[in-house]
Amino acid sequence: MGSIDSITYRRFIIFAGLTVTLLGILVIFGWLTGISILTSIVPGYYPMRFKTAFCVAVLGMALLNFKYNNKVGTPVTRILALLITTCCSVALVQEILAYTTHKYPLFNAYKQAISENYIHPGGMSALTAICFGVVATSVFIISTSKSYYKTVLQYCLHIVTLVAFVVLIGYIFNVPVFYRLSYFTAMPFTTAIALLLLSVAISLLNPDKGIAAIFSGNLIGNVMARKLFLPMLTAILSIAYLHFLNSKYQWIEKELSIALLTISFIIIILLLVWQTCTLLNKLHLNKKVAVENFRLGVESSPHALIISDANSNIVHINPHAEKLYGYSRKDLAGNNLEVLIPEKLRQSYRSMNENFFKSPKVISLGIDEELFAKHKDGTEFPIELVLTPVKTSKGNMVLTSITDITQRKTNESIIKTQLIELKVKNRELEHFNYIASHDLQEPLRTVSNYIMLLEEDYPELISADVKAHLQAMGAATGRMSHLVRSLLDFGKLGNNRTLTLTDCTLLVNNVIADLNSLITSSNALITITTELPPLYAYDTELRQLFQNLINNAIKFGEKGQQPQIQISCTKHNGFFMFEVTDNGIGIDAEYREGIFNIFERLNKNDNFEGYGIGLANCKKVADMHGGKIWVESEPGNGSTFKFTIAALKP
């Protein structure tokens, strides 16, 4: 169903503006040059008077000058319109004065002028003056005035259209009384055409007012009006004109002509009814399908849905809502929605409902505030609502979609409780870790002290074998002490973290500087291959991560080969991905996950010192940055440790 768009209006307005301007100019030219055919255009018809032609030309130009797009007439438009209004008012006053004083100088002057082919045949008739006055006032007022004035003027314009139309019919069917509507002078054919075009074009500048509104718009009535009016008008005029010609030239008998006229009108009416009914049926079918689809959608929706009117009367409730509230459809039909709302919330519901109907739009409720519904058995349950305005033939209604969030709330509270428990457990664990590590140090220190005492106080008892055993014991206790300390550090890692804007290039360069002696002794070559970004990170912890990875990359280098390490960073989907690649001994596929667990080591021989805690620390740091860490490696061909860091904000 297409609507008349503004382009079509625009085209018609330009066409009307151009036609009437041209017409006015031709007539003026006719009067000035004495070419009489130009003053009447149609031979034998009354000529358009000079003053009228002037009005026609100026109004045509005003129409062309009208800025249709923004609906604001330019000052030029308004000045032209004002000029014509004044001109018409003067003409009208002249006519009235002439009439009331029972002298008709203008009429006589006009008659005389015609007979003498005088170029200025006096003023226009009262009717023409009124019509042009209305058209000009409309042009003047259209862009500035209130809607009320526009409506009044729109109907005045329609009257002008009607008058012009009646005059034209008068000419077509040769009925002088139709074109002699004013008391003495006839409205010329060309004037009627100009008035018809002008009044229709100007009424289209306000397409939502008056009869113009019937022809614009998208509703079925508008479509039908557009489709039917012109063809019907043409058909009726043509048939009537044929009948008129027949009565003039007597082609066929009068009775036959009337019978044919009757048949033609019946056919026209039939066509009208046919087209109207087809359109209405199509619309009805579309409506039926839409209603059925809507009904099916509501019935089969997995959500509880209730349709209610502005007074909260329940119009429809779907099976899911029946189940949720424990009521049957019959129980609720026609009842007030408030039965489903706990008493304490009814007042706020009323004001919410009132506001909703004041400016209907989709709204969600129950997300920021707590909302409850009431079951038939009186129990209350938490809900979330989505209110959607629905237009029906019985007025505006609201479609409420209700989601029971009891389960979600329960889950949330379980998660909350578990989170609290987890925090308590974590704190206990940290405490235990601290106490255990601390307390374990003590006996270790005692053992190593006694080893020292034994060696110092009883040298004579200590044979070479015993000495070796004691040294092994010392080394083991030292190692255990280191492990315990590492465990303590692991537990403490990130305890006092603060998120700061960290320049990663600076951070990595600092790590390289700290590892200077290791790098020099191993002759390692470290290259930063891409720009390392500034980002928000826990810098102390991130530093430790890089330190562990670079340290390992050097430590687990291939014997007799210069360790070469590349560091780079790329950004993917809101994450920074860092890579530390070495040319070291590599890692077997089966160990690539395990090495990130605490105390997990692959190379337990003396060639590679360590406690298996470095990568566990790295994993903890990546986790606390919302990222992860993994390794890609091939034994004998080096490894690439990759870790991600979420683009965090403080």
What residues line the site for ligand ADP (CB under 6 A)? 548, 552-553, 556, 582, 584-587, 595, 600-603, 610-616, 639
Kindly tell me which of 412 and 489 has the beta carbon lying closer to ligand ADP. 489
Least separation in angstroms between residue 602's CB and ligand ADP is: 3
Kindly tell me which of 360 and 586 has the beta carbon lying closer to ligand ADP. 586
Q: How would you label 608-645 residue by residue, b for 16+ Cβ within 10 Å and e otherwise?
A: eebebbbbbbbbbbbebbebebebebeeeebbbbbbbb
Tokens 């502005």 belong to 310
Q: Name residue 233's amino acid.
A: L
Kindly tell me which of 246 and 617 has the beta carbon lying closer to ligand ADP. 617
How far apart (Å, rounded) are the C-alpha atoms in residues 39 and 34? 9
For residue 244, how many C-alpha atoms fall within 13 Å in the half-sphere facing its CB?
13
Least separation in angstroms between residue 601's CB and ligand ADP is: 4
Kindly tell me which of 369 and 609 has the beta carbon lying closer to ligand ADP. 609
Kindly tell me which of 187 and 587 has the beta carbon lying closer to ligand ADP. 587
Tokens 């045949």 belong to 121
Kindly tell me which of 207 and 610 has the beta carbon lying closer to ligand ADP. 610
Kindly tell me which of 210 and 614 has the beta carbon lying closer to ligand ADP. 614
Least separation in angstroms between residue 624's CB and ligand ADP is: 17
Kindly tell me which of 201 and 613 has the beta carbon lying closer to ligand ADP. 613
Kindly tell me which of 133 and 627 has the beta carbon lying closer to ligand ADP. 627
Length of the chain: 650
Least separation in angstroms between residue 600's CB and ligand ADP is: 6
Least separation in angstroms between residue 595's CB and ligand ADP is: 4
- Which residues are CB-contacts of 321 (< 8 A; sequence separation ≥ 6)? 304, 305, 306, 402
How far apart (Å, rounded) are the C-alpha atoms in residues 319 and 329? 8
Round the CA-based radius of gyration of the chain to a whole number and report it: 48
How far apart (Å, rounded) are the C-alpha atoms in residues 614 and 608? 13
Least separation in angstroms between residue 612's CB and ligand ADP is: 4
Kindly tell me which of 184 and 611 has the beta carbon lying closer to ligand ADP. 611
Least separation in angstroms between residue 604's CB and ligand ADP is: 8
- Which residues are CB-contacts of 240 (< 8 A; sequence separation ≥ 6)? 173, 261
Least separation in angstroms between residue 442's CB and ligand ADP is: 25
The DSSP letter of residue 216 is S
What does the H/E/C string look like for 525-583?
Answer: EEEECCCCCEEEEEHHHHHHHHHHHHHHHHHCCCCCCCCEEEEEEEEECCEEEEEEECC
Burial class for 502, CB neighbours closer than 10 Å (0-12, 13-18, 19+): buried
Contact criterion met (CB below 8 Å) for 317 and 306: yes
Q: Identify the CA nearest to 563 among candidates 573, 552, 572.
A: 552
Q: Identify the CA nearest to 298 among candidates 185, 181, 390.
A: 390
Kindly tell me which of 243 and 601 has the beta carbon lying closer to ligand ADP. 601
Burial class for 590, CB neighbours closer than 10 Å (0-12, 13-18, 19+): exposed
Least separation in angstroms between residue 632's CB and ligand ADP is: 11
Q: Give SS3 for 125.
A: coil
Least separation in angstroms between residue 538's CB and ligand ADP is: 19
